[in-house]
Amino acid sequence: MPNPVAAQGSVVQGTVAKGYEGVREAFEATFAEERAGHSAQLAAYVHGEQVVDLWGGPGMEGDSLTGVFSSTKGAAHLVVALLVQEGVLDLDREVRHYWPEFAAAGKEHVTLRDLLAHRAGVIGTDEGFTLEELADDRAVAAKLAGQRPFWRPGTAFGYHAYVIGALTGEVVRRATGRTMQELYEERVRAPYGLDFYMALPEEQEDRFLTTQPMDPTPAQTRALQENAPGRHSFFGVAFNLNHAVPTVLEELPNHRVIRAGGPASVGGTASARGLAGMYAAAISGLGDREALLTPATAAEFAQVHSEGRDLVIGAFGAFGLGFGNMAAEKFPFLGARAFGHGGAAGSQAFADPSTGLAFGYNRRRFAYREDNEVQLTRLIKATHEAATR
């Protein structure tokens, strides 16, 4: 990083490049808003050069790893993008071409593109999953193959929160004979030296910090209780509340079985450096390694395919292929082709090809959603402004 400016006399450690002082200030401001004990990391690259490398809070180091929940989906679909780029996968082929058992209960004509755009409607099963099943994409895929969709495929969309990586991963496995986890490790993580693991090896466990439970205010607690989702509702099915022994979202990465299996929808562990680094590798390359994606592939995966009211979340959403379209979804000041993904605890990562920016944020305490969105907007705005000045 050129011209590093160290933060001092602050809870925040690390450095920013000249011109990115506003990012450090915005990051520091989040600590003032949060209760004691908050810890987080922030990293950014521009055209493959790191410009932000910050962290702070008890026990948090620059290379600490935490569960990144659905930010994992970005790693998974970077693998899919590579395979599409190479002609191994065809977006407009019906899923059954790769995975014959999937052609059941009204899913016969669902394409890989539909899966990636969260349009297939197979957000879970009627009975839900055990924790062990959730740790194993093949087990999840096997149970989903015969499942009747929860909406008419193609007519609506909704967040396939716990299963999209198992669905697209099964297509990958049938087409290549390799799992998403293997391909990600070999083609993305290892060659670029990224601290962003889909399946976390035993020897990296000492850097892992558990996710801390949400610490809502009394008003937030009331709001959460009043809007508690039904077990068999769209949200309930998608977040596995309908199993006889419902799993607890905020505890997922705290189970070693999940971290070890690294399910492609929710099982990844990373630092902010790893999150931002992966998106830098995707669009810019890192060091002397070239970008993983051509501009055309990145543009195709960023293209909005589904937007409007998400049937699962019950609020506005906008997806490209496997990634969210960042500008359409939440951050309208970003480039129209910015693509990325966030995770339930509050992590967020993306690439914006219009400015060459790759961004990664990570936090340890499970966030209250609305608060997190306000903080992310400020952090991303500050980084975007510095990168375009």
The owner of tokens 């993306």 is 350
In the bound state with a copy of itself, the residue whose beta carbon lies nearer, of 224 and 333, is: 333
Q: How far is the CB of 85 from a copy of itself (least distance, A)?
A: 14
CB closer to a copy of itself out of 45 and 157: 157
> Nearer Cβ to a copy of itself, position 61 or 385?
385
Task: Indicate the Cα dihedral angle 130, 134, 135, 136, nearest 10°.
Answer: 110
Q: Is 17 strand, coil or helix?
A: coil
Look at the block and give the residue holding tokens 């810019």: 284
Cβ atoms within 10 A of the Cβ of 196, count? 30
Minimum CB separation of residue 255 from a copy of itself in Å reads: 26
**β-pairing verdict for 268-270 and 65-69:** antiparallel
Of the residues 324, 335, 340, 346, which one makes contact with a copy of itself according to CB under 8 A: 335
In whole angstroms, how close is the CB of 314 to a copy of itself at the nearest point? 6
Q: Does 210 bind a copy of itself (CB under 8 A)?
A: no
Q: Using CB under 8 A, which residues numbered 91 to 130 contact a copy of itself?
A: 105-106, 117, 121
Shortest Å distance, C-beta 43 to a copy of itself: 21
Q: Binding string to a copy of itself for residues 126 to 165, with x set by CB under 8 A, is what?
A: ----------------------xxxxx--xx---------
Q: Name the residue nearer to a copy of itself (CB basis): 174 or 381.
A: 381
Residues 300-319 touching a copy of itself, rule: CB under 8 A, are 300, 303-309, 311, 314, 316, 318
Beta carbons of 47 and 279 less than 8 angstroms apart: no
C-alpha 24/C-alpha 386 separation (Å) is 11
Binding residues for a copy of itself, rule CB under 8 A, total 50
Residue from 16, 78, 199, 237 binding a copy of itself (CB under 8 A): 237
Calpha distance 253→322 (Å, rounded)? 21
Contact map string, positions 337 to 376, toward a copy of itself, x by CB under 8 A: x--------------x-xx---------------------
Nearer to a copy of itself, 126 or 132 (CB): 126
> In this structure, are residues 315 and 309 in contact, taking their beta carbons and an 8 Å threshold?
yes
Q: Which two tokens stand for residue 380?
A: 């991303």
Judged by CB under 8 A, the stretch of 138-146, 184-192, 226-234, 367-375 that binds a copy of itself is: 226-234
Burial of residue 219, with CB atoms counted within 10 A of its CB: 0-12 exposed, 13-18 middle, 19 or more buried: exposed
| Separation CA 363–CA 39 (nearest Å) | 6
Q: Is the dihedral of CA 288, 289, 295, 299 positive or negative?
A: negative
Separation CA 299–CA 325 (nearest Å): 10
Nearer of residues 28 and 385 to a copy of itself, judged by Cβ? 385
Structure tokens at 232: 């068999």
Selected from 5, 11, 139, 299, the binder of a copy of itself by CB under 8 A is: 299
Instruction: Tell me which stretch binds a copy of itself (CB under 8 A): 3-11, 214-222, 282-290, 323-331.
Output: 323-331
- CB-based contacts of 3-7 (< 8 A; 24+ apart in sequence): 7/54
Judged by CB, which is closer to a copy of itself: 31, or 151?
A: 151
Q: Indicate the angle between helix axes 295-302 and 272-283, nearest 10 degrees.
A: 120
- Long-range CB pairs of 29-38 (<8 Å, 24+ gap) are 29/378, 30/375, 30/378, 30/379, 31/56, 31/57, 33/371, 33/375, 34/365, 35/215, 37/212, 37/365, 38/363, 38/364, 38/365
Residue closer to a copy of itself by CB (options 207, 231) is 231
Interface residues with a copy of itself (CB under 8 A)? 105-106, 117, 121, 148-152, 155-156, 228-237, 242, 296, 299-300, 303-309, 311, 314, 316, 318, 325, 327-328, 332-337, 352, 354-355, 384, 388
